[in-house]
Amino acid sequence: MVGCVIVADGKIIGEGYHQQYGQAHAEPNAVRQVIERFGAEAEHLLKKATAYVNLEPCAHFGKTPPCADLFVKHQLKKVVIGNRDPFDGVDGKGIENLKNAGIEVISGVLDAECRYFNRRFFTRIEQKRPYIILKWAETANGYFATNDGHQKWISGALAKRLAHQWRTEEDAILIGKQTALMDNPQLTSRAFPGKNPIRLVIDKNLQIPLSNNIYNAAAKTIIFNEIKTDVIDNIHYIQMEDMHFYLAQKITFQLYLMDIQSVIIEGGAQILRQFLEASLWDEARIFTSSDSWNEGVSSPSIKGNLIEQIEIEKDKLSIYINNLNK
């Protein structure tokens, strides 16, 4: 996620952001706005302008031309950058190209804030896996699910709507076989406007019936299993070997190969614990209800840095980050 603001004579003359993968980056969108707004005066303004961008302008030909070259072409006076881009095709080359053209460059401005803003991108490039968000709800006395396997809702309606908003913001959502069988979830964003995430399901022996909601046409669905690899309409079967060994590691590497940049893991308890034990998580979002149960399945235990707590009607949302991955 990249934004660019161009300033001349103390005034913003152009703004742009990277709106969609494969289309124009932030920098050409901002320059285009300057040209559209100021016409013949644009070139003069750009030559004395400063561009502010949260990520180093690219220096390679990908789906779009290099943004650093665009700034060089228009002879900008200065470029102020948040993060250096760790991608091999850039990684300082954009800064170098700008400096070689005589453009003043200041980098590392609000570095930590910009890095957090693009934490999914940095995780994928540097750790070769998606950004992983664990999410669950628990009772006030720490129960996660019923003992008999029957679905019993823990958090309230507003928490559910917020969880659906999160689904629109991430690439994929992951559950295990037991959650699919017990809850028959749709794993869509139906309670909030936006895209549906890719549904990821772990079903080693393909025991989930085809009548289950995960097999409907609402979203692309990937079934990790030991039986077959196949594609049937929107259902993609991916065969894996020895899923009882290092499952969390295998899943995250497969998602990296599939260019899935972020995933929410919603359960069940066994799947969540595997990712927790492997320390393969970046953020945890836990709803705690004001209600207590007499018995149930204990919620996972988490060790992380609590960064925020928010009241959501009668629920409390706690957000943790995994310091071991920072």
Given 27, 138, 170, 266, the catalytic residue: 27
Active site residue 104: no
DSSP state of 208: S
- Give me 318's structure tokens: 């706690």
Please, what sign has the CA dihedral across residues 293, 273, 303, 256? negative
In this structure, are residues 131 and 171 in contact, taking their beta carbons and an 8 Å threshold? no
3-state secondary structure of 178: helix
DSSP 116-147: HHTHHHHHHHHHSS-EEEEEEEE-TTSEEE-T
C-alpha R_g of the chain:
23
Contacts 24+ apart (CB under 8 A), 275-281: 275/132, 275/134, 275/248, 276/134, 276/300, 276/301, 276/302, 277/248, 278/246, 278/248, 278/249, 279/322, 279/324, 279/325, 280/129, 280/132, 280/248, 280/249, 280/252, 281/132, 281/133, 281/134, 281/322, 281/325
- Give me 180's structure tokens: 């699919």
In this structure, are residues 271 and 174 in contact, taking their beta carbons and an 8 Å threshold? yes
Start-to-end Cα distance in the chain = 20
Q: Closest Cα partner for 183 from 170, 201, 171?
A: 201
Dihedral of the alpha carbons of 192, 194, 199, 200, in degrees to the nearest 10: -100
Q: Cite the active site residues.
A: 27
